[in-house]
Structure 1
Amino acid sequence: MESLEDEIKNLIKVWITVMICLTYCYLISRNIPKGIFRFISILPIIPIFIILPLYLSWVQFAGTIGFFITWLANFKLILFSFNHGPLSSPSISFQHFISIACFPINFKQTPSTQTDNPSSQNPQSYYLMYALKGLILVLIVHAYNYKQYLHPNFVILLYCMHIYLQLELMLIVIAESVQFFLGLELEPQFNQPFLSTSLQDFWGKRWNLMVTGILRPTVYQPVQSIFMRIVGKRCAKLIALLATFVVSGLMHELIVYYLGRVWPTWEISYFFVLHGVALAVEIELKRCFRGKCDLPQLVSGPLTAGFVLVTGSWLFFPQFLRCGADVRAIREYAIIWESIMGLVKKCWDTFLGH
């Protein structure tokens, strides 16, 4: 495991490489007509973005770069090749191009009113809520020190909460920073997934909406368009749905490989395939019964959460835990915290010295 100083140096080198690649895409590829020739010009960037996380050994940094660059940036560049997606606006500036390509953000298509934006409507409650979520995340990380005394299922629940809170806090910090520096209003990335009443609600409208938004035009819509001519609209939608979950599973496998550098056992892919099949069944049942047998929210909500948690503890987390990513992440948190406290103490001593 690299020291924090060495890892930060590697991280800087990775980001410099990303900036150079994206500058190339903006300055050169935008002058090439959309279609296959623009795609060919961008194609060398894709394997570079796949390799970059391998230069990082820390779980926090390798996972983040894998998600931001290898997955989202590559998919956005593929869309850009054919003049689709958030990078394809003819009036997009260089800084907007870089920001959207690097980070899991997207512009709002229509400006929101004050009532639509909770931070404008009640800023104190809005920031207090995220401060509370940050405190809960700190308590969860601290609880890992005692996980040998906790029930394994409770530890899995902590991991689920950890993933959700860390992703949401990280994305909201990025969104607020981009909004502050660039003056842009961004789409929310989560929509209270714990209130989901069905798998369709969870995956389509509440959980990690940036991923949903990038998989729809890159996987779902092209697959649906291809198979619609062969099997008809109804079957094509189901095939496209399953293909989307398969691709999502493979991308998660790649990110977990970055974390542990261990060859995948494909359990994570099975998790997403299972959810794709379950979601397809749910959609077909809804179509057959046409809302006549809808469960009340007090029943459907716990059933949805239970299905996600049970299948996650069965298929998603074991591979993650076997590669030791959780143990290394906890060690990294401790090192980062000690470094921050040391820096604060140094600054404080310097202040008192003056």
Structure 2
Amino acid sequence: MEGEFGNFIQVLISIFVCICYSYSLGKIVPKGKTRLLCVVPVVSLFLYLPLCLSSVHLGGATAFFISWLGSFKLLLFAFGKGPLATDPSISIGRFVAIACLPIEIEEDPPPKPQNTHIKANTSLSQSHLNGENGNTPHPRSTKSTTLNHVIKGFLLAILIGILYYSEHFHPNLILVLHCLYIYLLLEFLLAMVGVLARALLGLKLKPHFNEPYLSTSLQDF
């Protein structure tokens, strides 16, 4: 395990150096084919780095964050598109976070026009008093979200204990439990990433999941 942790630290350092190199490309290399040629070696390295890790959790998370999301973000960045190219004055910290982590910054809505009719304002205020908010969903409270993550954390711990004795259960049941385990692990991991990004960089992020298991239709999902 100590050797695996050392490999993981080396992988993280390699990723950080590659992202800093890509950040400098945006300052000195124009977008297009030239920047793409400079980015291709980084993308190739991102495809190789998860192979240096033998752990399923570390290797799988690195492959998802870097080989999949990071590579596509850098390819879009080479042509001046994607989340890495939306703000030319982006700081190195935000560039690294957006490139490495599965986060999407929530943009502030445009300011409302000031010449709104008094009648419209009166109607809007009356609708709020009557509880008629149209199609705008109510934001979830922080307390409810925290409780939701705590419950899912307990479920994840129980699933890990059950899967440890998987030889005593039917294979079809184990397959279903593995699917549930992957979903809970991914949601828990993305929630932690979002908390770290908010705390360290002050970013306002879009939520990754909105309880898809409560969907009433495929379109709702």
Letter in 1 for 2:186: L
Stretches of structure 2 that go unaligned for 5 or more consecutive residues are 110-136
Q: CA deviation at 1:171?
A: 0.2
Looking at structure 2, the residues matched to 187 and 94 of structure 1 have their Cα atoms a distance apart, in angstroms, of 21
CA contact (8 A) 1:29 1:42 kept: no
User: Whole-Å Cα distance in 2 between the matches of residues 14 and 117 of structure 1?
Assistant: 38
Partner in structure 1 of residue 29 of structure 2? 32
Identity of aligned residues (%): 41
Q: Which has the higher helix share?
A: 1
Alignment correspondent of 2:115: none
Say which of 5, 8, 11 aligns to 2:8.
11
For normalisation by structure 1, the TM-score amounts to 0.52
Aligned to 2:93: 95
Q: Choose which of 104, 127, 134 in structure 1 pairs with 2:146.
A: 127
Q: Which of 29, 40, 43 is 1:43 aligned to?
A: 40
Distance 1:200 1:105 in 2: 23
Q: C-alpha displacement at 1:31, in angstroms?
A: 2.0
Partner of 2:181: 162
Match of 1:153 among 140, 164, 172: 172
Counterpart CA distance in 2 for 1:57 and 1:186 is 31
Q: Specify the alignment match of 1:78 in structure 2.
A: 75
CA distance in 2, matches of 1:116, 1:39: 43
Residue of structure 2 in register with 1:67 after alignment: 64
Question: Secondary structure, in 3 states, of the residue corresponding to 1:6?
Answer: helix
State the aligned residue count: 193
Deviation at 1:116, TM superposition (A): 5.4
Cα shift at 1:28 = 2.6
Letter in 2 for 1:171: L
Shift of 1:198: 4.2
1:26-56 deviations in whole A, cap 9, x for unaligned?
A: 0134321111111111111111111101111
Q: Partners of 1:142 and 1:200 in 2: how far apart? A: 35
**Which residue, out of 167, 183, 189, partners 2:208?**
189
User: Which amino acid in the other structure matches residue 136 of structure 1?
Assistant: L
TM-superposition CA deviations, 1:275-321 (whole Å, max 9, x none): xxxxxxxxxxxxxxxxxxxxxxxxxxxxxxxxxxxxxxxxxxxxxxx
Note if contact 1:29-1:41 (Cα within 8 Å) is conserved in structure 2.
Answer: no
1:52 to 28, 34, 49: 49
TM-score (norm 2): 0.82
User: Deviation of residue 93 (structure 1)?
Assistant: 0.9
Q: Residues of 2 paired with 1:147 and 1:42: CA distance?
A: 44
Structure 1 SS opposite 2:162: helix
One-letter code aligned to 2:41: P
2:50/2:59 contact within 8 Å kept? yes
Which residue does 1:108 correspond to in 2? 106
- What code does the residue aligned with 2:103 have? I
For the aligned residue pairs, the C-alpha RMSD in angstroms reads 1.6
Q: State how far apart, in whole Å, the 1-side matches of 2:194 and 2:6 are.
A: 25
